[in-house]
Structure 1
Amino acid sequence: MKNVYLILLFSFFSVSAQTNFEKGQKMMEQKKYGEAKPFLENSIKENRKDYKAIDYLGEIAIYSQNWDEAIACGKKLIIAFPKNADYWYKYGGAMGLKAKSVNKFKALGMIDDVENAFLTAAKLDSKHIEARWALVMFYTELPGIVGGSESKAQKYANELSSISKVDGYLAKGYIDSYFNRYANAEINYLKAYEIGHSKTTFNKLYDLYLNKLKDKQKAINLKEQFDEKV
């Protein structure tokens, strides 16, 4: 019986001894972002250099579409860790999302900073898939007059191919689809699907058949094939 009391007592003290960061981290793991935020903010009040808490707050800001707060968190992180590719990628992503939410004139003033952040992430980590995907999308979607370039997009799609063949084919398919080259997009998406057989590769090819090529029968056949293997 004494052992039971000791276990209960130890459990009580273990819970009550949890730091604000640990409580916030637990909430983040459970995707309870609103509940996590005050704990993480308190953790930073206790220690302004609690960079993991700052990183979490940046994620919460993205989830809440609070772009300015996400950018502020990202800036603190790249200042503290200028050679961390993930932080540069997140910083660029936050700025990119804000650029999409503001008027075109204001967005134009942010383009160079977004590009620089993604390029820095890619340079710091030669195998950073997300940064290269961001650059593929950035150069594909941006008008040529303000820095868009299909050749640059293809360059980073090729880099993705050397890291992950599936991502490489998906990136090339994305570029082809964006420029309405649907036959080429089908070839690339098919190759990605044949290698990956994942939900992502299926969705890309299925969407192309159904919404771009308007070939309902191909979409149905693909879905039946995919469902058989799941």
Structure 2
Amino acid sequence: MKFIFLTFLLLPFSVLSQTDFEKAEKLFAAQKFLQAKPLFENDLKAHPNHLQSIEYIGDIYSHTKKWDAAVSCYRKLKTANPQNADYQYKFGGALAMMANDANRLRALTMIDEIETAFLSAIKLNPKHLEARWALVELYLQLPGIFGGSESKATRYANELAALSPVDGCLSKGRIAEYFERYAVAESCYRKAIEIGHSKTTYQKLADLYQNKMNQPEKAKAVWADYNKTKS
């Protein structure tokens, strides 16, 4: 009886000793974002300068596509620690998504800040892959008069290739696909498959066949090849 009582006392103690932050982290990892958010907010009430909680809340806003709120969180982070490359990248990414939803005139006013954030991320972390991917997309989609160009996108695709051959192939395939050079894109994606063998590499080639080249049978064959690699 005494043993059972002691066990009863000890087990709840380990649960109760968990902080709001620790419980929120577990919920976030399980993608239970709406349950995690108030716990991170509770943690911030107790520790107003806890940057990890601010980052998690920003990530929750990003997952739920509340870009204005995400930008606000990431702006706080990069202001508090301007030397953190990921803070710069997340700020630029959220701002880019916010611009995508804004009217054209407002979006154009955000371009410089978006570009600066991604470039800052690379300067702070020369191996930052995601920031280079973001710049590839930015320069592809921006009109030339506002700084977009294939040559700029290609520059960062080449940098990706130097850091990660599979990302280099995928980004060069993305550029070729954007400009409707589908045979070149196909070659790049096939090379990415040879290097990486990841689901993403097969997905890019299958999507190209299905959505751009109107060759659904080839798309099916790509997925059949992928399934063989997993069997």
Deviation, 1:146, is: 1.0
The aligned counterpart of 2:219 is 219
Q: Give a deviation string over 1:75-99, Cα, whole Å, max 9, x none.
A: 1111111111111100001100100
The aligned amino acid for 1:42 is N
**Match in the other structure for 2:113:** 113
Is 2:67 aligned against 1:67? yes
Q: How does 1:1-230 map to 2 (within 5 A)?
A: 1-230=1-230
Query: What is the deviation of 1:186?
Result: 1.0
Quote the Cα distance in structure 2 between the aligned partners of 1:175 and 1:72: 31
- The worse-fitting range, judged by mean Cα deviation, of 15-24 and 183-192 is 15-24
Q: Secondary structure at the match of 2:191?
A: helix
Tell me the TM-score normalised to structure 1 length. 0.96
Paired residues, what number? 230
Deviations 1:43-93 (A, max 9, x none): 111111111100000011111211111111101111111111111100001
Post-superposition Cα deviations, 1:122-181, rounded to whole Å, max 9, x if no partner, equal: 111111111110011111111111111111111110111011100000000000000111
User: What is the identity percentage for the equivalent residue pairs of Structure 1 and Structure 2?
Assistant: 50
Distance 1:223 1:63 in 2: 28
Closer, same or farther: CA 6–145 of 1 in aligned 2, 3 Å: same
Query: Please, what is the CA RMSD of the aligned residues?
Result: 1.2
Other structure's SS at 1:83 match:
coil
Secondary structure of 1:109's counterpart equals: helix
Q: In structure 2, list runs of 5 or more residues that go unmatched.
A: none
Structure 1 residue runs of 4 or more that deviate by more than 3 Å after TM superposition: 1-4
Mapped to 2, the partners of 1:181 and 1:82 lie a distance apart of 39
